[in-house]
């Protein structure tokens, strides 16, 4: 657990995602029950706020499974705290990076969240998803190495 926290703290998207899953409902991407423990074998209590923190970080770093999981958490919250607009936004983003059954699961979540939104809310969520994609592309192009040019 210490290594996972250390890697997540350094910004490793996969470690952030895994930590978020561990803090969440103890169900992995495949629907299997997991019982996370610390380095001493002591069970880790579920902590939705901590799970969302790590999943949001991984999602912002472009981890598609984290994007879908974050969308599901926004959609599955109690009615008073549910945020279908944020769920819809993250389902849109996640669908671009997922394949197969994971993409279909994101599509199903997308359809469900969309059905609960007004036209104005749909447009706002789609705008946020486009803005996120633009920021991500800009960050990736800024991080890309500059090609070397031959001197004459």
Q: Would you kindly state where each structural domain of the chain is located, as residue ranges?
A: 2-125
- From the number of C-beta atoms within 10 Å of its C-beta (0-12, 13-18, 19+), residue 138 rates as exposed
Give the pLDDT band of residue 110 (cuts 50, 70, 90): very high
CATH number attached to the domain at 2-125? 1.25.40
What distance in Å separates the CA atoms of residue 93 and residue 91, rounded to the nearest whole number? 5
Identify whether the C-beta of residue 102 lies closer than 8 Å to the C-beta of residue 68.
yes
Render pLDDT for 29-44 as a digit per residue (tens, 0 to 9).
Answer: 555 656 666 667 776 6
Please tell me the pTM assigned to this model.
Answer: 0.79
Render pLDDT for 50-90 as a digit per residue (tens, 0 to 9).
Answer: 889 999 999 999 999 999 999 999 998 766 678 999 999 99
Query: What single DSSP character describes residue 91?
Result: H
């Amino acid at each position: 657990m210490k290594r996972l926290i250390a890697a997540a703290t350094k910004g490793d998207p996969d470690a952030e995602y895994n930590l978020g899953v561990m803090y969440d409902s103890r169900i992995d991407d495949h629907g299997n029950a997991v019982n996370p423990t610390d380095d001493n074998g002591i069970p880790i209590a579920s902590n939705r706020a901590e799970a969302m923190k790590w999943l949001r970080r991984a999602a912002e770093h472009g981890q598609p499974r984290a994007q879908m999981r974050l969308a599901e958490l926004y959609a599955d919250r109690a009615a008073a705290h549910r945020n279908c607009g944020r769920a819809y936004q993250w389902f849109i983003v996640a669908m671009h990076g997922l394949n197969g059954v994971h993409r279909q699961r994101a599509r199903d979540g997308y359809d469900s969240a969309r059905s609960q939104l007004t036209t104005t809310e749909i447009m706002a969520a789609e705008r946020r998803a486009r803005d996120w994609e633009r920021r991500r592309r800009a960050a990736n192009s800024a991080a890309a190495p500059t090609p070397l040019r031959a001197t004459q």
